[in-house]
Amino acid sequence: MIDSEFHIIMEYADCGSLDYYLHDEKSRLKNMTYLALHNLMFQCAQAVKYLHNQNPIVLHRDLKPNNLLLFDDYRTLKICDFGTVREIASKMTSSVGTPAYIAPEVLEGKIYTEKCDVYSFGIILWEVMSRKKPFHHLENRNALAINNLSTRGERPKLDAIKDYKNKKTIQCLVEQCWNQNPNRRPTMQMLSLFFSFDYFAMKPLPRTSKEDYQYRTNN
């Protein structure tokens, strides 16, 4: 407290946000190797896994590149903006978050779980590996248009992912994370383990079936 007023002192993110790192014209001059991007996503998976391992489970509910801050010459990633964080409850239906990153079950007002964060992680992974904004191809990229696409099972184009050596593996992982059926999405524990492997040793994951995208819960 200073001069009878409360002040919040926060850590300074000297490298800005992941959004800036990916999309600002000046930042594109930086060397974005696959290994560097892979390491950032591993740290993100670890951080979200920590939230999901709490008892009760804690959901972030607004994961997006703007809420992922970078430090230490772009080598360290930390999650910020915990204003939407909640402990999981038996019936969570309130819609919060940012349109392009919100899971379809949240948009539809259905009961949702920690798998909503996994969906957001999948969108972020696609964005990191493609360096494009989700649904960037839309002529009118507004919240309503994006929400309509998401609830219908439409997703950003997998072919936009850069031609890394394990492109197919990343595409399969992204598909699993943003599966329309939340029960078919991996856990953050699984994702954390996946990103802990040497990236040259990764093996392709089984592709999700067409039926998974047609899933609709009865809740």
CATH code: domain of residue 193: 1.10.510.10
pLDDT level of residue 219 (50, 70, 90 thresholds): very low
Total count of domains within the chain: 1
Average pLDDT on 88-112 reads 80
Range of the domain at 142: 18-214
Active site residue 62: yes
Q: What is the pLDDT of residues 52-65, one digit of tens each?
A: 999 999 999 899 99
Of 61-70, 149-158, 174-183, 190-199, the range with the lowest mean pLDDT is: 190-199
The answer to whether 179 touches 146, Cβ cutoff 8 Å, is no
- Residue at 169 is within a domain: yes
53 domain residue, yes or no: yes
Has residue 64 been placed in a domain?
yes
pTM, to two decimals: 0.84
pLDDT exceeds 90 at position 190:
yes
Count, residues in the chain:
219
Is 9 part of a structural domain of the chain? Answer: no
Q: Is residue 177 part of a domain?
A: yes
Q: Which of 62, 159, 198, 212 is catalytic?
A: 62
Is residue 146 situated within a structural domain?
Answer: yes
Residues 121-177: pLDDT tens digits?
A: 999 999 999 999 998 877 677 888 888 889 999 999 999 998 777 899 899 999 999
Whose CA is closest to 111, among 90, 96, 86? 90
> Does residue 1 fall inside a structural domain?
no
SS3 label, residue 89: coil
Helix (H, G, I), strand (E, B) or coil at 65: helix
| Residues linked to residue 79 through DSSP beta bridges, in sequence order | 68
